[in-house]
Amino acid sequence: MEIKNFAICYNPEISHSVEVKEKLAALLADKNINAGILNIDDLKGGFDFVFVIGGDGTILKTARFYAKFQTPVFGINLGRLGFLSQSSKEDIEKSVDEILKGKFIVQDRIMLESGDYTALNDFVVKGCDMGRTSRFSLKINDKYVCDYLADGVIVSTPTGSTAYGLSAGGPVLTPSLKAFVIVPICPHTLTARPIVVPDCEKITVCTDVKNKYVLSADGQEFYEFDSEINIVKSRYSAKLALLEGAEFYSVLTDKLHWAMPPAYIK
């Protein structure tokens, strides 16, 4: 792909982000590239490739925004886990060189949609009264599936399967799968297990109309509702730029210490 216009998106609230932003801008300037500088709270279109400096939350917000422009985003991790990032601040120079040489791929990641909201990781439904469990009914394609007495329900993409859904006991899905995961949070029955469904299904979570509930998108956007919400595959997909040779299963080992004995975990 031909890249003419670069942007650098950073989160000024994250430690060292300004320093890394300036270093990245200088590296690009040395190669005669004048990149646009964007604050995470003031994103705009018109770019062919976006470097994102921050943690997974910063990358999620940026990827959602640029999905409608089909613009690839490349994460430089300054957070704790950095599961969505491809580079550390120490490896910026090497990463920039590879990207400018075209040694990267752009991977489509399916997203979720509910009304005006989209999510790259997950939608989470919880009762506004956090001190008590709630009853949820699950429908798929308008057909009743089951009831949950639980703290909440997570509807996750494959990208989000390594996030909240994993912590709640859900499976890990490879990013290329066209599927969603439905995971009850702390269900009050041992038979309530996660469900994996095709991404063409419409998922409906029904609630008790006597109470208020909140839907969160990637843990960043929230709105209250009652009765029910519908969740479907978004018409947009996020574009994540990955360096050549990046491999999902090695990321599980490197980031999550997947199946490693405790003695090997530092």
Active site residues per annotation: 56
> For residue 49, which of 32, 34, 29, 71 has the smallest C-alpha distance?
71
What stretch of H or E contains 260?
none
Contacts of 55 (CB under 8 A, 6+ apart): 11, 14, 77, 78, 79, 80, 81, 82
Burial label for 174, CB within 10 Å (0-12, 13-18, 19+), is: exposed
* Residue carrying the six token digits 């209250």: 224
**CB-based contact 62:240 (threshold 8 Å):** no
The pair of three-digit structure tokens given for residue 95, joined into one six-digit string: 């990463």
The pair of three-digit structure tokens given for residue 40, joined into one six-digit string: 């995470």
Contacts of 50 (CB under 8 A, 6+ apart): 6, 7, 8, 9, 38, 62, 66, 71, 72, 73, 74
Amino acid 98 reads E
